[in-house]
Chain A
């Protein structure tokens, strides 16, 4: 797993964006992860309080989704290339330096 070092900094330096007051959003769409042919799964479905974080996990310049949860476990889903609403590859467990699943031991 290659960690991207520049993306987080780049996000903080994102060029001036349009002032949004009030903000307007389209109706929410459930995010999916995994190949549609194989039955894509709703991202974070069934997790205890899924907490998405946008982060370029593999350094390809696309923001992937990292999902934490109440139990303290982390998964990630790599963003697939394409325009419009984002789609992601299947979720994978986030492994730590010790080769075990990273665990924040929430309780």
Chain B
């Protein structure tokens, strides 16, 4: 969730606009006492602004909903879930439209404001932001969006961060710029150019953000070029120590025991799936709770504790992958 400071309601006070994990853009209105609690930004008919997938937190229990009412003309390329939003006067008509980023498949959408400054009336459907004739789809899916004049030509370009493989060791996230080769009120974005390469991983220490790259840009060191600050997860695997024969034997034994417990865990989940097969949400919740209270649940707790103990002993001998979030400064060397 990356808040944008912008006077969304045209009252002279900066508000915060942010896309959040429920799948809709939100607004925290600025007041003379601070920001009001966030509210959803709705379309002209009072409906939620979404792509074709969202979390319905009004439902008990909350549930994942897929629908097509906001699909662009011609339909969606893939499932889309908004988690980022950026207010921007796309068509230079004096009001703020919304750019929307997709956490699921990297699509970028425009929701046009057909109202006026201070009285928004958002269209009921999304439009694809395009590169040439093709919808813009960001490799690694979208984390956050910015419009900023990156190349100093007087037009706002589009900065995009990407998630990459968030938990595994696959290709990580990066930062891209789509230069605007259009005109004021008629953006025409070029294909993304890499600003920060997606991480290839394999580090032995935390040396960069590897996944979930959320960026912002400004001239932070006063040398008249745009630097980046980037939040994200670093992943690294420390160099393992040299082991003697006794330690190697112990490592083999620990790994064998952990593998055995993993197999037991697999059997637990298979039994849980069987016990809850075909149940609706309410029945599932009840059956899940009962399963947890039973013998299988008790054994699972004991197994988890044992696994934890074994992993703690193994860790100094064979360090596992580390994952921690930080915020980084990238100094632009252009000047």
Contact = CB atoms under 8 A, between A and B. Distances in A.
Contacts of B232: 49-50
B14 A19 contact: no
Interface residues of A, number: 64
Contact of A23 (B220, B325, B334): B334
A46 B325 contact: yes
A98 B38 CA distance: 12
Interface SS of chain A: helix, strand, loop or mixed?
Answer: loop
Given A14-B149, A50-B231, A97-B35, A28 B330 contact: yes
Interface string A68-84: 11111010000000011
Given A28-B207, A106-B22, A16 B328 contact: no
Contacts of A42: 326-327
Interface in A32-81: 42-55, 63, 65-72, 74
B224 A18 contact: yes
B225 to A, nearest CB: 6
Contact of A51 (B2, B7, B220): B2
Given A18-B334, A50-B231, A63 B220 contact: yes
B55 interface: yes
Given A30-B206, A45-B324, 19 more contacts: A17-B219, A18-B152, A25-B333, A28-B328, A30-B328, A31-B229, A43-B327, A45-B326, A47-B231, A49-B214, A49-B231, A51-B2, A53-B4, A53-B216, A68-B18, A70-B21, A72-B38, A86-B221, A104-B38
Q: Which 5 A-B pairs have the closest CB atoms?
A: A51-B2, A50-B231, A51-B214, A17-B152, A97-B34
Interface of B: 1-7, 12-14, 16, 18, 20-22, 26, 28, 30-31, 33-38, 55, 57, 62, 143-144, 148-154, 156, 177, 193-196, 206-209, 212, 214-222, 224-233, 324-335
